[in-house]
Structure formats: structure tokens, C-alpha cells
Amino acid sequence: MVNRVVTGAHYGLRDWLIQRVTAVVMVIYSLFIGGWLVLHPHAGYDAWTALFSSNGVRSVSLLFLLCMYYHAWIGVRDIVMDYVKPTLIRLVIYVLVILALLLYVIWSVQILWGM
């Protein structure tokens, strides 16, 4: 008989799943933008801004960016967990990464709706 004591914060499975769901969203959006670039190889400023002028494209772009930031957080956290052992340095890096990603969220809204 195996007496296994399960410890930890239990966020592993949830993050594993989120990493994949956000990845699929990003693949779909990348195909959309990549396809547009292939179809409009010499697009100028007008065509480019026309694409981003609709609320639909702005919204899915923001969705893509939010998925990317969440995805990046999980990935960066895993890398830091593997290579940075001292608790204090690890904590400082986590805080800096989270603050940077939150600023990117604000910046993304400004880019998409402030043009």
C-alpha cells in the first residue's frame, strides 16, 4: 500500500491547463494576423489602421495580449523556480514580473483604444 502525502498549493494542474488554453487562443489569433499579412503583403498605414479600427479586432487583440501575459507569467515563474533558489531574490523577481505584466495590460488598452 502506498501512503502518499500530497502537499503543496495545488495550483499545478490549473496552471498546466491555463497554459494550454491561452496557447490555443494565441495560435488562432496568430493565424488570423499571419493570414492577413500574407493576403496584404504591401499594406500601408491606412489598411493597417483600418484593420485595428473595429471594436471586434481590438477586443480579440486585447484577448490575445491578455492570454499572452498570463501565459508568460506561468512560463517565467517556472523558469525562475528552476534556476533561482534564494527566496528573497525569487520574490523580488516575481513582484517585478507581475508589475511589468500589469503595466503591459494598461499599455495594451492605451495602444488599441487610444489610436
Partner 1 sequence: MIRKPPKFLTLTQIRLPLPGVVSILHRVSGAALFLALPLLLWLLQQSLRSIETFTLLGDLLASWPVKLVLLGLLWGFLLHLSAGVRYLLVDARWISGLAQARQSSGWVLVVSLSLTFFFGAQLW
User: Which positions touch partner 1 (CB under 8 A)?
Assistant: 20, 23-24, 26-27, 30, 34, 37-38, 41, 45, 48-49, 52, 72, 75-76, 79, 100, 104, 107-108, 110-111, 115
User: Helices 12-39 and 55-83 sit at what angle, rounded to 10 degrees?
Assistant: 130
CB of 28 to partner 1, least distance (A): 12
Q: Are 21 and 28 in contact (CB under 8 A)?
A: no
CA distance 44 to 49: 9
**Identity of the residue, 10 or 83, whose beta carbon is nearer to partner 1 in the bound complex:** 83
Residue with smaller CB distance to partner 1, 60 or 76: 76
Residue in 69, 57, 68 with CA at minimum distance from that of residue 103: 69
CB of 68 to partner 1, least distance (A): 8
